[in-house]
Amino acid sequence: MGQKPSAIIVEHGQNVTFVTFVDERIVDEEQIRELKESLEPVIEKNENKKLILNFAKVEFMTSSLLGLLVRIHKKVRERNGRVQLSNLDPNLYKIFEITQLTKIFDIRKAPKE
């Protein structure tokens, strides 16, 4: 059996770490668990850096991902880092507005086509 491809792509810059979500739909608990396991080592290495989570490919997500993002934000802040969400689809951005998570996260919406 082959190894399952990662649900994220990680790129390290000098003072920033870029994480791109690969899946268009992040909807089940298994995906959330895999993302958590994939992101934990990234967060550990991200001391004093900016962590940019790229949502360019994500079209739909479950509320469980919101919970994971809040936990990620807390862990990164504890390590004196910052989290930015980028390329967020306007429909997904509305979810962050409704839940008032726009007050917590630095969010960059996807450019309009």
Q: Sketch the domain layout of the chain as residue ranges.
A: 14-109
Number of C-beta neighbours around residue 40 at 10 A: 12
- Average pLDDT of the segment spanning 76-87: 94
Asked whether residue 50 carries a pLDDT value surpassing 70, the answer given is: yes
- Whole-model pTM: value is 0.90
- Average pLDDT of the segment spanning 89-100: 94
Asked whether residue 1 carries a pLDDT value surpassing 50, the answer given is: no
CA-derived radius of gyration, the chain:
13
CATH class given for the domain over 14-109:
alpha beta
* pLDDT tier, 95 (very low <50, low <70, confident <90, very high otherwise): very high
Query: Whole-angstrom Cα distance, residue 52 to residue 87?
Result: 10
pLDDT at 45: 85
